[in-house]
Chains A and B, each alone.
Chain A
Amino acid sequence: MRVDPWLRLRFNLAMNKKIALVLILLFGAGLNSFAQTNSTPGAPTAGIVAATKKFLATLDDAQRGKVVFDFKDEAQRKRWSNLPTAIFKRQGLRMGDLTKPQREAVLAVLAAALSPQGYEKILQIVEADELLRKSSGERMFGRDEYYVSLLGQPSTTEPWMIQFGGHHLGLNITLAGEQRTLAPSHTGAQPAIYELEGKTVRPLGRETDKAFALLSSLNEAQRKQAILDFQMRDLVLGPGRDGQTIQPEGVKGSALTEKQRQMLLDLASEWTGILHEAVAKTKMDEMRKSIAETWFAWSGPTEKGSAAYFRIQGPTVIIEYAPQRLGGDATKHIHTIYRDPTNDYGRKWWKP
Chain B
Amino acid sequence: MVEAVSPTLCRLPLLLALLAVPSAVFAHRDDQYLQATLVAIEPSGVRLQINLTPGVAVAEQVIARIDHDRDGAISKNEAVAYAESLRRDLTLRMDGRDLELKLTASEFVPPAELRTGSGIIQMEFSAISERLAAGPHRLTLENRHLTGISVYLINAAQPRFATVQITRQKRNENQSAGEIEFTFHPFRPKIAVPAGPT
Instruction: Give A contacts to B, CB under 8 Å.
Output: 1-3, 8, 11-12, 14-15, 18-19, 22, 81, 83-84, 87-88, 117, 120, 127, 130-132, 134-138, 141, 190-191, 193-201, 206, 229-234, 236, 240-241, 244-249, 252, 290, 293-295, 313-316, 324, 326-329, 332-333, 341-342
Q: Does B117 contact A (CB under 8 A)?
A: yes
Q: Does B71 contact A (CB under 8 A)?
A: no
List chain B residues, Cβ under 8 A from A22: 2
Given contacts A15-B6, A246-B156, contact A329 B25 (CB under 8 A): yes
6 nearest A-B residue pairs (beta carbon):
A315-B196, A328-B25, A341-B195, A326-B27, A199-B8, A247-B156
Q: Is the interface of A mostly helix, strand, loop or mixed?
A: loop
Query: Nearest chain A CB to B194's CB is how many angstroms away?
Result: 7
A-B contacts besides A195-B17, A241-B51, 5 pairs, CB < 8 Å: A127-B16, A131-B18, A197-B16, A200-B19, A327-B27
Q: Does B191 contact A (CB under 8 A)?
A: no
The reply to whether A1 and B20 contact each other, CB–CB distance below 8 Å, is no
A183 to B171, CA, bound (A): 29
List chain B residues, Cβ under 8 A from A294: 197
A230 to B174, CA, bound (A): 6
List chain A residues, Cβ under 8 A from B159: 247
Nearest to B168 among chain A residues (CB) is A249
List chain A residues, Cβ under 8 A from B18: 131, 135, 191, 194-195
The reply to whether A12 and B197 contact each other, CB–CB distance below 8 Å, is no
Given contacts A12-B9, A87-B118, contact A190 B26 (CB under 8 A): yes
The reply to whether A196 and B171 contact each other, CB–CB distance below 8 Å, is no
The reply to whether B25 and A15 contact each other, CB–CB distance below 8 Å, is no
List chain A residues, Cβ under 8 A from B194: 315, 342
Of A88, A197, A244, chain B has the most CB atoms within 10 Å of the CB of A197
Query: Nearest chain B CB to A341's CB is how many angstroms away?
Result: 4
Query: Nearest chain B CB to A165's CB is how many angstroms away?
Result: 14
List chain B residues, Cβ under 8 A from A326: 25, 27-30
Query: Nearest chain B CB to A24's CB is how many angstroms away?
Result: 12
Nearest to A249 among chain B residues (CB) is B169
Q: Does B175 contact A (CB under 8 A)?
A: yes
Number of interface residues of B (CB under 8 A): 58
Q: Does B73 contact A (CB under 8 A)?
A: no
The reply to whether A199 and B195 contact each other, CB–CB distance below 8 Å, is no
Query: What are 9 pairs between A and B in contact, CB < 8 Å?
Result: A15-B5, A191-B18, A191-B21, A194-B21, A195-B17, A200-B19, A234-B151, A244-B157, A324-B29
A194 to B24, CA, bound (A): 17
The reply to whether B155 and A231 contact each other, CB–CB distance below 8 Å, is no
Q: Does B153 contact A (CB under 8 A)?
A: yes
The reply to whether B14 and A3 contact each other, CB–CB distance below 8 Å, is yes
Instruction: Give B contacts to A, CB under 8 Å.
Output: 1-2, 4-6, 8-30, 34, 36, 38, 49, 51, 116-118, 120, 151-153, 155-159, 166, 169-175, 194-198
The reply to whether B21 and A131 contact each other, CB–CB distance below 8 Å, is yes
List chain A residues, Cβ under 8 A from B16: 1, 3, 127, 130-131, 134, 194-197
Nearest to B15 among chain A residues (CB) is A197
Query: Nearest chain B CB to A301's CB is how many angstroms away?
Result: 14
The reply to whether B196 and A341 contact each other, CB–CB distance below 8 Å, is yes
A244 to B9, CA, bound (A): 39
Of B6, B24, B30, B156, chain A has the most CB atoms within 10 Å of the CB of B6
CB contact between A11 and one of B9, B166, B172 (< 8 Å): that residue = B9
The reply to whether A199 and B51 contact each other, CB–CB distance below 8 Å, is no
A138 to B21, CA, bound (A): 13
The reply to whether A1 and B15 contact each other, CB–CB distance below 8 Å, is yes
The reply to whether B157 and A245 contact each other, CB–CB distance below 8 Å, is yes
List chain A residues, Cβ under 8 A from B5: 15, 120, 199, 201
CB contact between A329 and one of B10, B20, B23, B171 (< 8 Å): that residue = B20
CB contact between B28 and one of A87, A134, A230, A249 (< 8 Å): that residue = A87
List chain B residues, Cβ under 8 A from A246: 38, 155-158
CB contact between B6 and one of A18, A137, A138, A341 (< 8 Å): that residue = A18
